[in-house]
Amino acid sequence: MTEPYTIEKANDYIREHAGRVNPRYKGAFHFAPPVGWINDPNGLCFFRGRYHLFYQYHPYGTAWGPMHWGHAQSADLLSWEHLPVALAPDRDYDSFGCFSGSAIQKDDRLFILYTGVQKDDSCSNAGNEIQQQCLAWSDDGVTFTKAPENPVIPASALPAGFDAANFRDPKVWEEGGRFHCVAAAADGAGQGRILRYSSKDLLHWEYAGDYVRGLERFRGIWECPDVFPLDGAACLLLSVMNPPAGGVLPAGRPGTLWGLAPLETPADLDCPSININPFDALDAGFDLYAPQTFAAPDGRRLLFAWAHLWGGNETLERHGWMGSMCLPRELRAREGRLLQNPVREIEARLEPLEEFADPRPEGGMALETCPLMAITLEAEAGGDGILALDFFCAGEERLSLRYSAAEGAFCFDRSAAGLPAKDLPPGDLLRVIPYRAPAGRLRLRAFIDHAQLEIFVGDGELVFSSLIFPKRAGYEHRLRCGGAAHIITLKTFVIKERV
């Protein structure tokens, strides 16, 4: 597909091609595109009685390309209705792509602040790109008008020496009668920074500071910052493109950090800078990037993230679509930790499948297995206890999560799992994550949706996410206890596609 890109052209293409994709690995309650490539969730909001999910979208191929904003809505965060494409790269200032951004409601209108990317051969920076923040609005939540004043935060609003090719992903909020946004940027030395801007009307923005301190050791380019109040703390989420070795993120793999800072009142976010401490990896698994949060009408802080496939996947390429979102999560902060749990809406979908009175899986046991299912278990796992869950077992294939009380760690291993993504380096097949089950009691909840697996540990202290593309249909999930470990409760559920 060649320029010019328009919304009409994108919608026509989607209409014509959506029926031709192979849905074999598509999830039922994880959002995936009708056709083509997706990455980051954008513009999350609740508007006119529906949750809205916008997303980075290249409808015309299964690889990243000129970014549009795709759009879907939902009443329950799990079943999605596709809506027309919201933004196409159809202006000079966004002709190279409408990159990530966020939404805010003002005077009964929905506004989105996104990054317009332009190629400009007169620029001296790498890739000749200029990234600037642009505004669009909608009265019906479906059709958007781009502001004639765009870009509303031009590259000239960067501090001196900053790189115009890395200035993106504005996350906007309102507090104290003003609008605020944070955006990812890079200083003259190529070091990631998070800048804050402030505005009274969304159109005119003032630079308000180099906002976040304490993360300088994460060298390189940062993306998709998000800052919000959470249970008496300021919570920061930040995606790091190419993390350095020796940190909490696996080196060289795109990953996301969470961080907390004390916060007396939400109004205190309006300050020159916040100091983040502590911080940790948002996901203990393999496939999660570029999250965004928003406040639901009932006050919950909800998160969506891209179940990322930066390297692509050969099978999905043939199937005509690429990428999906994680199961949306509810966030809490407690005693300096971020807790993540699946949105409670999933509970209404769970239908009991098996319940075991006194399971003794010492020699290993197979669970009745179906494509959409949940497993909840509680185990006594102290001393030399070992608990192993093997998912998608067929022949030599499996994806394993093993907890060893003696080692005080989980090992998440996908070296024998299904069809790999194209570019997985050997180091990206295994994660060893320190964890001690409180008082030797281990609690796990696993959610399986065709090719997507998410395991929530304890009160949500850890989440292991992984995509998996089982080669064979006849797989089963298995459970095994070793040493002093034994199961206290074990239940499985079918997850209904609709309530």
| Catalytic residue annotation | 40
- For binding to ligand FRU (CB under 6 A), which residues are involved? 39-40, 56, 67, 99-100, 115, 168-169, 223-224, 289-290
Residues 216, 230: Cα–Cα separation, whole Å? 23
For residue 454, give the nearest of 442, 466, 462, 444 by alpha carbon.
Answer: 466
If the CB atoms of residues 96 and 392 are measured against ligand FRU, the closer one turns out to be: 96
If the CB atoms of residues 40 and 428 are measured against ligand FRU, the closer one turns out to be: 40
Residues 443, 183: Cα–Cα separation, whole Å? 37
Q: 145: burial class by Cβ within 10 Å (0-12, 13-18, 19+)?
A: exposed
If the CB atoms of residues 42 and 452 are measured against ligand FRU, the closer one turns out to be: 42
If the CB atoms of residues 226 and 380 are measured against ligand FRU, the closer one turns out to be: 226
Tell the smallest beta-carbon distance from residue 55 to ligand FRU (Å).
10
Tell the smallest beta-carbon distance from residue 293 to ligand FRU (Å).
15
Q: Give the bridge partners for 459, in sequence order.
A: none
Q: Which residues, at least 6 apart from 397, have a Cβ–Cβ distance to it below 8 Å?
A: 416, 417, 418, 470, 471, 472, 475
Tell the smallest beta-carbon distance from residue 38 to ligand FRU (Å).
9
Residue 236 · residue 224 · CB < 8 Å: no
DSSP 89-115: S-SGGGTTEEEEEEEEEETTEEEEEEE
If the CB atoms of residues 98 and 375 are measured against ligand FRU, the closer one turns out to be: 98
If the CB atoms of residues 112 and 485 are measured against ligand FRU, the closer one turns out to be: 112
Tell the smallest beta-carbon distance from residue 40 to ligand FRU (Å).
5
Provide the total of helices (H) and of strands (E) in the chain, helices listed first: 2, 36
Residue 185 · residue 210 · CB < 8 Å: no
For residue 42, give the nearest of 95, 99, 84 by alpha carbon.
Answer: 99
Q: Which residues, at least 6 apart from 398, have a Cβ–Cβ distance to it below 8 Å?
A: 390, 391, 392, 416, 417, 478
Q: Which residues, at least 6 apart from 1, have a Cβ–Cβ distance to it below 8 Å?
A: 9, 13, 60, 61
Residue 88 · residue 98 · CB < 8 Å: yes
Q: Which residue is nearest to ligand FRU (CB)?
A: 99
Tell the smallest beta-carbon distance from residue 421 to ligand FRU (Å).
15
Tell the smallest beta-carbon distance from residue 303 to ligand FRU (Å).
15
